[in-house]
Amino acid sequence: MSSHKLTPLIINRSDDINVAHEAWLWLKVNLAFLTGALAVTVIGVILARLLSRWADRALSNATHIEPTVAKFLSNIIKYALWVVVGVTVLTQFGVQTTSIIAALGGLALAVGLALQGTLSNVAAGVMILIQRPFRVGEYITAGTVAGTVQSIGLFTTEMLQIDGLYVMVPNNELWNKAVVNHSRMPTRRFELVVTIGYDDDLKAARDAMLALAKDDPRTLETPAPVAFVAGLTDAGVRVGVRAWCNSGDHLALTWAMNEAVKLKLDTMGMSLHPVAAAAPAPAPAAPR
């Protein structure tokens, strides 16, 4: 970069001829400098536009980057390039940009402190869109929030609960919680455990529950359903059955098996006993 500085125009006389003469002399002295500064400006503007368009096109065509993140990163690159061009042009014209850069840095720090919560949501939104722990249409639970994801933005994520209620969740709340994605994997395991009396026929109950699981068209053949004895308690014998199904069928299979096992064991003359600490019920799958 040239160290030459723009020579100030000083006019001591007031008549038009002398003013024009002084202006011509000033222009003659600084013509090369002004030409170089203008060239830097034009080249900088052209390069900034070309680079920002290239970055926007590259990010938009990247299949592993969400469109929202691609647009966000593209805007950051574009504005950063314009800032660099502006500082370079001012420096070329002899303007001391150190104080300007310091002022901009202080302003950015003040804005960052004032919008700390908002910026944390933006950072969380970018990380969610990059890491993709969930996508639109998937059913998730995170802390006390559960629902089907409707949209993912830079600030918030919109969800629809299973009861039809709309929920808007700040991204920071989702990023700082353990997210359970009920729709990501194509298959899920179903499990049902009941308690029968010690006088009941254990083998018959186990075989009946296994047969019900195998007969349901929603259960998968691989892995094959299994029946087992989960434990012995003061209330009775805990008998269970496990089967795998498609993730979308998990909720319907849960309801159907609960009803079918109860009715079947009733017809076999067995009594179901409640237990003080029952096994946790499986989380619901995304509604179809």
CA dihedral of residues 119, 121, 123, 125 (deg, nearest 10)? -140
Is 109's pLDDT higher than 70? no
Mean pLDDT of 226-246: 94
**How many residues does this entry show for the chain?**
288
Domains of the chain are: 16-114 (1.10.287.1260), 132-181 (2.30.30.60), 187-267 (3.30.70.100)
For range 93-101, the mean pLDDT: 67
Report the alpha-carbon distance of residue 132 to residue 125 in Å, rounded.
Answer: 10
Rounded to whole angstroms, the Cα distance separating 70 from 58 reads 9
User: What is the rounded CA–CA span in Å between residue 36 and residue 41?
Assistant: 9
CA 222 and chain centroid, separation: 33
Rounded distance, CA 181 to CA 147, Å? Answer: 10
- When pLDDT is averaged across residues 200-223 and rounded to a whole number, the result is 95
* Whole-angstrom distance, CA of residue 227 vs CA of residue 29: 96
Contact 147, 162 (CB under 8 A): yes
Checking if the pLDDT of 132 tops 90, the result is no
Taking alpha carbons only, the member of 60, 58, 61 closest to residue 50 is 58
Report residue 279's pLDDT band, with 50, 70 and 90 as the boundaries: very low
Give pLDDT, residue 100. 67
What is the pLDDT at residue 277?
Answer: 45
Chain centroid, CA 238 distance in Å: 41
Q: Is the pLDDT at 28 greater than 70, yes or no? A: no
Least confident window among 105-114, 150-159, 160-169, 210-219: 105-114
Neighbour count for residue 61 (Cβ, 10 Å): 9
The beta-carbon contacts of 216-224 under 8 Å, at least 24 apart in sequence, are: 216/243, 216/253, 216/256, 216/257, 216/260, 218/245, 218/246, 218/249, 218/252, 218/253, 218/256, 219/190, 219/243, 219/244, 219/245, 219/253, 220/187, 220/244, 220/245, 220/246
Model pLDDT, residue 237: 94
Most confident of 30-44, 52-66, 76-90, 200-214: 200-214
pLDDT number for residue 280: 47
User: What per-residue confidence (pLDDT) applies to 81?
Assistant: 76
Q: Using one digit for the tens of pLDDT, what is the confidence trace for 241-275?
A: 999 999 999 999 999 999 999 999 999 999 888 75
- The pLDDT value recorded for residue 105 is 72
Q: Where are the alpha helices (DSSP H) in the chain?
A: 16-61, 67-92, 98-114, 116-131, 171-175, 202-215, 250-267
